[in-house]
Amino acid sequence: MAFHIDENHYNEALKFFIREKGVPVKIILAHADISRSRFYGYLNGSGDLAMSRLLSILEVIHVSLDEFMLYARSLKAVNTNMQSQPEALIVDEAMVENALQIYKQTKDVAAIGTAITQIKAHDSEEVAGKLFKKILPTARNILCRRHYFSLMDANLLLDIMDNLRYEDLQTILPFVRKTMMQQQACQQAGFKMEVVRQQALLTVIYRYTLRAFHEKANDDTKRDFDLVDSLEPAISDWYTNVIRKLMTVIKTLIVVGNEYEARVAYNNILAAVYAIQPQSAWNNYEKLMHNNFNDFKTYAMS
């Protein structure tokens, strides 16, 4: 028996459990005696997987076949239900309830993350506020219980970060740091780095650092300055370099107390964004940098 690519609820289920269990791919490949290309081909929907290989993978990640099949069937039911929905999307309490029910059935955060994205795009701030208030406790509980952060988890955190209590962030951040360090260790061991996830986690660290100073919790920031400084050059893409430089601006402004140098460095970063990045990306960087130095300084030091 093989699990085929047209039954993508199986590979989605396997991806979910691999992500949740956090077992290194190197160990999975060795235990299941499967090539890296075949393994990733199946996960990405371009191949099939023999039952014996699947059982070996489930064994090494400590998931029973019954648990796997139950989750896969739940995904199939959810996907079938979503495909039967009309194309016109109505963002209302029923949509939120549906997202909460899907999460309850599958434990996959995608439904929650998608619902929050749709809520934030709602035309009415009043309606969006009510819907967001309804879904926020579930999103908060998901993140406060996470010990390993997928890209979906990191994006969910970025979406609701400003609405969480600082105490919640103090609970969450140790595991964000742990995931970043695991990512870096994998890269140092010769495995492919999930750059997009690392960027999202790094953005969480940056925003948390600003929030810590905003909350007058300066002692919470040293480990994050050290962590960002320790990032390997191989993962320092353009976006990562921007975050690293912004962390230096924060340190120069608040820890060192040199506003002039911080302002110069900040303006140089913003000028580089306008010179190098496409105009379509400017808004994202402006939000990241609080639009201008004075607003950036006011937020961090108020």
CA-nearest of 60, 16, 5 to 38 is 5
Q: Per-residue pLDDT for the chain (302 aa), expressed as one digit of tens each?
A: 444 433 567 777 788 778 777 778 888 888 888 888 878 777 776 666 677 778 888 888 887 776 777 777 766 655 555 444 444 457 788 888 988 998 888 888 888 988 898 888 887 888 888 999 999 999 999 999 999 998 889 999 999 999 999 999 999 999 999 998 888 887 777 766 677 888 899 999 999 999 998 888 777 788 888 888 887 655 457 888 889 999 999 999 998 999 999 999 999 999 998 888 888 888 888 989 998 999 999 988 87
Cα(61)–Cα(176) distance, rounded to whole angstroms? Answer: 21
User: Within 10 A of 113 (CB to CB), how many other CB atoms are there?
Assistant: 21
Domains and CATH numbers, the chain: 2-13+16-72 (1.10.260.40), 190-302 (no CATH)
CA-nearest of 22, 11, 13 to 46 is 11
Question: What pTM does this model have?
Answer: 0.69
For 109-142, how does the pLDDT look when each residue is reduced to its tens digit (9 = 90+)?
888 988 898 888 887 888 888 999 999 999 999 9
